[in-house]
Every structure is written in structure tokens, then in C-alpha cells.
Amino acid sequence: MLSALHALPPPTELQLPAYDPFTGLHERLVTAAMIDEDDRTWLLSHHTELRTQYDALPEAFSLSVIHGDAWQGNLVVPSSGVPTVLDLDKVSIGRREWDLIQLAVDYTDFSRVSGQDYRAFVEAYGGYDVTSWPGFRVLADIQELRWVGFAIARSPDSPRAAAQAKHRIACLRGQVARPWRWDAL
């Protein structure tokens, strides 16, 4: 599905926005009431460092139509056998690597995807393994920071999300060894 999406020419009847993985993230970190100042300072510094690294990545060979939130839960295959893509609000123009990063991180940092399943995904995509791309760690770290921001955003209404946010922050800060275990929210 991702290979087919990335091969699509950008639409001419409407202009898709450029994808920015940092959209809204800084604000979430600045306004989060549930994190202490030490964590906030670290998270904001980490955000700045990742933004600098992201901006320094070599220009993409080509930009593609991307989903923007490509993970297993946003693709369903009903009994008809025709795959259906869900959650299209982040469809944009960007690096195809962004759409590959979530599954790759599930494999490398969380062990939620087996080596065999990850290799099958790489083969289905055409043999391109994003973990071998020099910018992999930058995008992986950005994605993980986004997942921390997601937990932070849900914290005011959920003690479970607040606890998960603190755990995720500890992971990013190197206080928990990989593979990490993060609860779904």
C-alpha cells in the first residue's frame, strides 16, 4: 500500500501541504502541566536538537505523496480483500521515509515487530530498508518524541496517560533500556 501511495503523482486539482513532523509538538511540550521543569527543559532541548538535525538532512531525492501517520492500525483489509487506508488528515508531500519510520521503530526500538515480519515489509515495499538510511535515527527520534507529546496531550484527562508520558520521557532520557514497552493510549 505504501509503495503504491508513494508512486502516486501529486494531485493537480489541489495542493497538498508540505509535511512537517514538528507541527504542534513544541506547543505540547511548553504547555504540558504534568511534567516537571527538568523534564520540560530536557524535552525542549531535545526538540531543538532534533529540529536542527532534521533541517540538516540532505534534501530528499524526491518528495512523495505520503500518508503522514502510516502504521498498521491505519490500514484495514476487509473481507473484500481491497485494502482501505484510514486517518487521512496528514496526507501531504514529504519524504517517503517518514511513512516507513513507524514500522521500523516498532522493529528496532520496541521489538513489537519480528525480524521476519520486518523483512517481509521491506520486501513488499520493494527492498528499501529505511533503517539503513543515514537519516533513520533522526526520524526515529522525532517519531518517538511525537509519541511522548501524544501521551502528554492526553495527560490532563487521564492518569494512565500521565504515567505513560513520564515513562516515555524516562525512556527518551536513557533511563530505561531498549526494547521499550509503551502502552497504547
In a domain, 177, yes or no: no
In a domain, 185, yes or no: no
Residue 62's pLDDT is what? 82
In a domain, 61, yes or no: yes
In a domain, 139, yes or no: yes
In a domain, 180, yes or no: no
51-65 residues labelled b (16+ CB within 10 A) or e (exposed): beebeeeeeeeebbb
In a domain, 183, yes or no: no
- Residues of the chain short of pLDDT 70, as ranges, are none
Q: Which domain holds residue 22?
A: 2-172
Q: Does residue 148 contact residue 168 with C-beta atoms inside 8 Å?
A: yes
In a domain, 31, yes or no: yes
Q: How many domains does the chain have?
A: 1
pTM across the whole model: 0.94
Residue 158's pLDDT is what? 95
CATH code of 47's domain: 3.90.1200.10
Which cell goes with 56? 540538516
Tracing cell 501521551 back to the chain, one arrives at: 151
